[in-house]
Amino acid sequence: MANTLWQVVAAYVFALVGGWISTSLQLPHKPLCALISFAAGTLLGVTIFAILPESLSASSWWTVFLALATGYALFFFISKHVHHVCPACAASHFDADATRHFSEIATALIVALAIHSTTDGLALGIQHEAPTMDATKWSLFSAVCIHKVPEGLALGSLLIGAGLHRSAALGWVAAVEATTLLGGVIGYFFLTNISTFWLGLIMAEIGGGFVYLAVHAVLGEMLKHGKKLVLTSFLAGVALIGILNVGLRVLR
């Protein structure tokens, strides 16, 4: 229990660190772009190297890919009809016009981010039900934490650009990202008797959301920045999770 809960809390802290940096320092967009692309690579990497193999070992291939497609479609629908589901993955959309109209999009943004952050926490929270998934646990934890930093950075930057005081902006980052803790609690305490079959499908659906975030982040950054920086950082993120996952499996 302690191991699972500290991972959820750590992911939340990483988001707060990102929010604190953006509300306290002036970070150029180039390093933010590299970090966003790197984080997107880790999300795709954990889906390919950890989530899908474990899901396929517990459920049939067609149910896994149906769940994967459902997760992708859910985030696509939220981004299209509610708001961009992740500020880090849509940082290029948060331009001056977006900040001027922040009051009009605030509710939609909070709803979209709450769903996204709850999913992050849920992914970490249900891992205690799979004692044989040590490699998946640690690669998933790494990917979520890495992704949380640019997420907090982008959200904090948007809030500052919208005219909020630094302390108020950080407070909103803390409040919105707290849904990560909610997802962890739901996963740990309310999905305790879930079978490995359904566990695999839930993880596959979360993986589908990760794929959407990764693809959207890379495409969004390449539209405004050099492809070399984006692709290099993205592939580095994929490689990191691949190496981490393979290494942990060998050690196990």
Buried b (16+ CB within 10 A) or exposed e, 184-216: bbebbeebeebebebbbbbbbbbbbbbbbbbbb
| C-alpha span between 92 and 89 (Å, rounded) | 8
The pLDDT tens digits of the residues spanning 106-165 come to 677 778 888 899 999 998 888 655 544 566 678 889 999 999 998 888 888 778 877 788
Q: Which among 64, 39, 44 has a CA at the least distance from the CA of 53?
A: 64
- Between the CA of residue 42 and those of 83, 186, 220, what are the distances in Å? 23, 24, 17
Nearest to 41 by CA among 238, 213, 241: 238
Q: Is 223 exposed, middle or buried (0-12, 13-18, 19+ CB in 10 A)?
A: exposed
Between CA 145 and CA 1 the distance in angstroms is 19
Q: CA–CA separation, 6 vs 223, rounded Å?
A: 37
Q: Which residue reads 């939220």 in tokens?
A: 78
Query: What pLDDT is attached to residue 84?
Result: 75
Q: What letter does residue 59 receive in the DSSP assignment?
A: S
Residue-wise pLDDT for 10-52, tens only, equals 999 999 999 998 888 766 777 878 888 899 999 999 999 989 9
Residues in the chain: 252
More confident residue, 130 or 172: 172
Q: What are the b/e assignments for 81-107, b being 16+ CB within 10 Å?
A: eebbbbbbbbbbbbeeebbeebeebee
- Tokens linked to 233: 């950082």
Question: Quick count: other Cβ atoms within 10 Å of Cβ 131?
Answer: 8
Confidence band, pLDDT 50/70/90 cuts, at residue 244: confident
In the chain, what are the domain boundaries?
2-23+31-251
Coil, strand, or helix at residue 165? coil
- What CA–CA distances, in Å, run from 49 to 29, 122, 187, 244? 30, 19, 22, 9
Mean per-residue pLDDT over the chain, rounded = 83
Inform me whether the pLDDT recorded for 91 exceeds 60: no
C-alpha–C-alpha distance, residues 46 and 145, integer Å:
12
Residue of 85 and 178 predicted with greater confidence: 178
**Tens-place pLDDT, residues 60-79:** 999 999 999 999 999 999 98
Residue-level pLDDT at 131: 47
Q: What is the CA radius of gyration of the chain?
A: 17
